[in-house]
Amino acid sequence: ERILAPAAFAALVLATMRTVAPNLFCRNVTSTTERICGLDETMLAQLLAGTLGFALLLEPRLVARTGQEVENTIEYAYRTMAGL
């Protein structure tokens, strides 16, 4: 019984996701995500840093505001977990 409930829930979630977002399970998406997961972490970090730098050049206020929102969200989650 303890094993069946989580398995049934997982099957329900999978069936729902296949209905709501069938593109997530197509062969093209699966092969693309496998390739992305297999890439070098350093290259992905450099790509992310380059993207952030480009966004910073285009809209520095938006990047700063987004950073503050992320910081506030993390602080709120930390305070909630700490019970403060």
Q: Which tens digit of pLDDT belongs to each residue from 10-34?
A: 888 888 887 887 776 777 777 877 8
SS3 content of the chain, % helix, strand, coil (to 5): 85, 0, 15
**Structural tokens at position 12:** 């329900």
Q: Supply the pTM of this predicted model.
A: 0.42
**Predicted pLDDT of residue 1:** 58
* pLDDT per residue as tens digits for the range 38-57: 888 888 889 889 998 898 89
Q: Are 52 and 63 in contact (CB under 8 A)?
A: yes
Q: How many CB atoms lie within 10 A of CB 41?
A: 7
**Structural tokens at position 19:** 């209905």
**Predicted pLDDT of residue 17:** 80
